[in-house]
Every structure is written in C-alpha cells, then in structure tokens.
Structure 1
C-alpha cells in the first residue's frame, strides 16, 4: 500500500505551542516513528516533509495525489484556550465512507492508549488536506499540546510519541 504521511505545520508555521513544545516538531517526530512502523509492515511511504520546513497545504495535497497514494494521514496536536481540554480526535472529509472506515480503525487503536480521552471522529469540510486529497484521508489530532498532562504523558517523550505512532500504524494495518 502507498501511504502519504503529512506532519502538520513546519518551518515558519510552528502550529500550536504548549509549554516548550511546538506542534510542528511533535507532529514530525510522531510521523517519523509512524513511517518506520509502516515501512517495517511492508508499505511504501511518502513523507510530505522530513525536516522543519514550510510546505503549503496545496503542495502537500499535490505530492500525495501525484504519487497516487492509497491513503493520506495528516498528523497534528490539538490545542484549546482551556488547559483542561484533552484527548485525541480524528477528522475526516464529510461523506467519505472510506475515510470514516480508516479513521474508525485508527480510532480503535488510539483508544487503547491509557489516559488518552476519546473525542471521537468528526467530519470537517474546511480543512485543505482533507478536501484536496483524492484518496481516503484522516487528520489525527494526537493529543492536546495545551494540556499539561497530555503534553507530559503523550507528546513530550519518545515513549509517548512512539506509542501514538504504533497505534496509528496498527489501525492502518488493520484497515488494509
């Protein structure tokens, strides 16, 4: 299977910031672990970025579409004005049955991570990477970078990042 992985943000766009963490660096770290898991599982992987560079949303979609990816995963961290907001959620393009099915498998694996609240699967038609890709696409909001416990338990450490990547990979491999 040909899988495009899109680490959110990058370069001049750090994404959300929580504590000393930038969303762009956490998304890249999780994505690199995810790439390794999927390659080890026999899949071909295209990364939209492998370093801290800025890539437009249009270019991210073009890369995946031109490469003819079978699925597209965009990795992010959530943020909210309230530091109490926590958990993971998956975003899909409205009406995408295959995207919802893929998200369901990923969601099932992420749900097993201790202390990661389930915020569900939500349709979002306003997100360019979901709207502009021609294959099933899921945007993973791994945890809240604005929540101190989510940062500590899931986003700051190699262990937490690798655990998220393994869960996403498990869901993908169950879907294929």
Structure 2
C-alpha cells in the first residue's frame, strides 16, 4: 500500500498546547513511528512533514493526491475540556469507515473511547483532510492535551509507540498483539533452527495474500532466500510483495512452476 501520514500542525502552528505539551511535537513522534512500522511491513510511506515545519492543509492533501496514496492518515491531539480518543472518517462511509472502526477499537485500549465520528460540512465532509483527499482518510485524536490524565499518558513515549501501533495494525487489519506474537515466534524459530540436524521438512503452504501471511515458516523461508542471493526484503516473517517477487525469481531459476506459492516442491529446492 501507499500510505500518506499527516503529522498535524507544525512549524509556526503548535496546535493545541497544555500540561507542558505541544500537539505538533506529539503528532510528529507518533507519525515517525507509524512510518517505521509501515515500512517494516513492506509498505510505501510519505509524510506531510518529517520535521518541525509549517505545511498548509492544501499542501498536505495535494501531496497525497499527486502521489496516488491508498490511504490518508492524519494525526492530532484534542483539546477543549474532554477526555479520551476518537477517530474521524467520511460521512460517506466506505473503506475509511472500516479503517476508522478498527483503529478506534485499538485506541480504546489506551484511552477512554469517544467512538468513531463524522461531521457534515458545506458540500460534503467538514474536515479538509477528509474532504479533499482522493483516497480513504481517517483523522485520529489521541486524547486531550488539556486533560491531566491523557497528558500523563502522552508524556510517556511507550504510550506514543502504542498509539502508532494501534493505527498501523488497525489499517492493516493485523492483531494488536502482533509485536508480542513476533517476539514469541522469534523464540520458537530459534528453537527450531537450533534443533534441526538434517534437511528440514516443511509442509505448510505459503502464499501472498491479504492480510499477509506471517509466522516462523515465512521468516525461515525469507532467511533461506537471502542466503541464496534472492532478496525478500526485511526478514520479518511477513509474506509481502518483495518476498513474493523473490520466490518467483527463485522458482524461475530452478525451472519449476512460477506461481509464487511455497509448496512441497519449492520447499525441497530451498533446502
């Protein structure tokens, strides 16, 4: 996917301010973490800003539209005496509503839930980034900066990382405990690799699909492809497009069926 991430405010516009925090700083920190996570999972990312700079609303949506992004993610912090998170999407529903629903559900594990919201403006949606984007768009409000409770969370970088994960895994429809699962898979993989004393026998079929296949077998396959000179991208156990291309190149080199599916025959040639 081509994912455009909009760090709300910036430069001469600090956004909401309260409890020793500035909205522009928090949104940038969350956005940079989102970028890293999306890229690790094999997606293309562009940011409206990657530093403390002033960018107009029009420039943000124009950049996303010109690039042909698949989704527009705008990050903000609320203010005005409330508490909790909320996620905004188009009044017309669609894919943006699906993204917003999953993201909001994830964020409700961090902040008090205020739900998925929409607002009608003149000739369509109220918020510019949702109205002017030519792709599904969501606007995330990560708590209230003037709430002592929410601000206390926003001062903790580990919470900002969780906010980023909540959005990334919500958009990609991955389980929220994906990181924990990957750590456990790494331990299992190390156990498997350390106990293999002969040619490994893999039976699981691996293929490119949405949501992406993940697991130990994918990571071992990626490692083996890398050893053999085929480049599957980041060895992260996620069967993305780069892994698919590497498998097809490997199959072609062995003059076997080039279908991108790792079945018994492809496994036997890999090992």
Under TM normalisation by the shorter chain, which class is it? over 0.9
- Structure 1 match to 2:140: 140
Alpha-carbon deviation of 1:96?
3.0
Question: Number of residue pairs matched?
Answer: 170
1:100 aligns with 2:94: no
> Cα RMSD over matched residues?
1.2
Secondary structure at the counterpart of residue 90 of structure 1: strand
Secondary structure at the counterpart of residue 54 of structure 1: coil
Task: Give ranges in structure 2 of 5+ residues lacking alignment.
Answer: 120-124, 175-210, 212-271
Instruction: State the TM-score, normalizing by the size of structure 1.
Output: 0.93
Aligned pairs for 1:2-151 within 5 A = 2-80=2-80, 82=81, 85-113=82-110, 116-124=111-119, 125-151=125-151
Task: Give ranges in structure 1 of 5+ residues lacking alignment.
Answer: none
Alpha-carbon deviations, 1:133-165, whole Å to 9, x = none? Answer: 000000000111110110112x11211111100
Alpha-carbon deviation of 1:110?
1.4
Aligned-partner Cα distance in 1 for 2:102–2:41: 16
Could you list the runs of 4 or more consecutive aligned residues of structure 1 that deviate by over 6 angstroms after TM superposition? none
Q: Which has the larger radius of gyration?
A: 2
Aligned-partner Cα distance in 1 for 2:109–2:169: 11
Secondary structure at the counterpart of residue 92 of structure 2: coil
Aligned-partner Cα distance in 2 for 1:141–1:108: 13
Secondary structure at the counterpart of residue 63 of structure 1: helix
Alpha-carbon deviations, 1:30-78, whole Å to 9, x = none? Answer: 1111111111111110101001111010000000000100000000001
Aligned-partner Cα distance in 1 for 2:86–2:46: 23
Higher relative contact order (CA closer than 8 Å, sequence separation 6+): 1
Asked if the contact 1:6/1:60 (under 8 Å) is kept, the reply is: yes
Secondary structure at the counterpart of residue 11 of structure 2: coil
Aligned-partner Cα distance in 2 for 1:43–1:108: 23
- Structure 1 match to 2:161: 162
Asked if the contact 1:96/1:136 (under 8 Å) is kept, the reply is: no
Secondary structure at the counterpart of residue 5 of structure 1: strand
Aligned-partner Cα distance in 2 for 1:172–1:78: 21
Aligned-partner Cα distance in 1 for 2:35–2:146: 26
